[in-house]
Amino acid sequence: MRGLLVLAALLLFAGTAVAQHKHVKPAASTPEAFTATPAFGPDGTLWLVRAMADRIVVVRSTDLGKTFSEPVAVTPEPTNLDWGPDARARIVVDPRGGLVVTFAIFQDRNFNGRAFYARSKDNGASFAKPAPITADATSQRFETATVDPATGRVFATWLDKRNGPKARAAGKPYPGAALAFAWEDGEAGFGPTSIALDNACECCRLGVAFAGPGKPAVVFRNIFPGSVRDHGVVTFRDEKTPGPVRRVSADDWKIEACPHHGPSIAILPDGSYHVAWFTNGSARKGLFYARADNGDTPFGAPRALSTAKRQPARPYLLANGPALHLVWKEFDGNKSTVRWQMSQDSGRQWSEPRTVADTDDASDHPLLVAHAGRAYLSWLTKADGYRLIPLEGQP
């Protein structure tokens, strides 16, 4: 009897295993990059760079995202794209209409990256073979290119691990990665790489805004003493000289890991700084926003966006003239929603949060983009594909 029961149980188990569980087939899937990043050209063309599993393509739209051109390949062959949750292929359009795409690949299984850029000189009809953004091959990730609106020069910044092996060879620990930068050097690509600072948190996206000509401001998750991974802003004094780290908030998130959840920054014409970020610190948990009057004053008290139980995540800020827009993603139990707020008084008062889009499957981070005075939500979802959604009720 006992033997029979065991046999029955085994048979039953075998049956249940097939019926109830979708077992994972070995090598059935590999992680995939899934992002869409927009940029408007001076003529109103919407350029979109897509990271699609193992390739990067660019498409364009001349009707605000209703229809798109056939994709143009940036990566000539399938490649091991950086699929990290905060990684993103990006595109910038310089004032002459030149296009620069940036993206990173994984070099190995230890998440060492290699950042590339590819330029188009024929208005997006083709892209030159991607070239490394820097000569050092150790590791670069979270490359972020931005056009200096005053000079038209492209600024690139990224997280770079070149100083880690040297430190460790000398018997010193080296947590995180360096914040590196380079400026476009005419047709030759990017000029020499400089290190702004060491030991930033290594897996979070960076945010960049311009405080003035040749003065990018970079927000990043820093590693403060005691492995506290809170945010800092570095504003450049000139193209070559990064200023000191200004802490955005003392959240006291002590963690020996990187949370793959980076910040966003905007600077308004009045010189005020605006930062939104995620933290799980002992001082506060969730999504927050803070402002500072200018590049020197401390940031004000953080304002909570939503509540932790709605998983608020992936904030994004955009200055559109004097208007400031803020979006983030949250989850209501069934759907991911994009929540939007706007401020017209330099971030002191905000409109009530409104849901501007939702989806019931996986989605990319919500992004904001503006052209001709109008701001748009740019969002890629599994269910609906890419959408450019005008934010209504703007002045």
Question: Which positions touch other proteins (CB under 8 A)?
Answer: 5-6, 8-10, 12-13, 16-17, 20-32, 34, 83-85, 109, 111, 255-257, 259-261, 278, 280, 285, 308-311, 313, 329, 331, 333-334, 336, 361-362, 382
Least CB distance to other proteins at residue 334 (A): 8
Indicate the residue among 16 and 355 with the shorter CB distance to other proteins: 16
Strand-pair category, 131-132 with 140-147: unpaired
- Nearer to other proteins by Cβ, of 27 and 372: the residue is 27
> Measured from the CB atom, is 22 or 172 closer to other proteins?
22
Of the candidates 85, 83, 50, 81, which has an alpha carbon nearest to the alpha carbon of residue 68?
50
* C-beta of residue 65 within 8 angstroms of C-beta of residue 380: no
The smaller minimum CB distance to other proteins, of residues 21 and 172, is found at 21
Is the CB of 190 or the CB of 278 nearer to other proteins?
A: 278
Nearest distance, CB of residue 18 and other proteins, angstroms: 12
Name the strands in the sheet holding 154-160, side by side, starting at the edge strand that comes first in the sequence. 140-147, 154-160, 177-183, 194-200
Q: What is the DSSP string of 305-326?
A: ES-GGG--EEEEEEEETTEEEE
The least CB distance from residue 171 to other proteins, in Å, is: 20
H or E stretch at 328: strand 323-331
Q: How many CB atoms lie within 10 A of CB 40?
A: 16
Least gap, CB of 261 to other proteins (angstroms): 8
CB of 268 to other proteins, least distance (A): 29
Q: How far is CA 140 from CA 135, 136, 201, in A?
A: 11, 9, 13
| Closest residue by Cα to residue 148 from 193, 102, 91, 209 | 209
Cβ 3 to other proteins shortest distance, Å: 12
The residue (of 23 and 172) whose beta carbon lies closer to other proteins is 23
Nearer to other proteins, 10 or 150 (CB): 10
* Bridge-based pairing state of the strands 336-343 and 323-331: antiparallel
Question: Look-up: residue for tokens 């931005």?
Answer: 146
Amino acid at the residue 169: A
Tell me the longest C-alpha to C-alpha distance in the chain. 86
State how far the Cα of 47 lies from the Cα of 89, in Å rounded to an integer. 12
* Nearest distance, CB of residue 83 and other proteins, angstroms: 5
Q: Which residue bears the tokens 């909570």? A: 304
**What is the rounded distance in angstroms from the CA atom of residue 200 to the CA atom of residue 206?**
10
Of 239 and 330, nearer to other proteins (C-beta) is 330
* 267 vs 376: CA distance, rounded Å: 18
Nearer to other proteins, 13 or 95 (CB): 13
**Cα(237)–Cα(160) distance, rounded to whole angstroms?**
22
* 254 CB burial (10 A radius; 0-12, 13-18, 19+): middle
Q: How far is the CB of 159 from other proteins (least distance, A)?
A: 15
Query: Minimum CB separation from other proteins for residue 114, in Å?
Result: 18
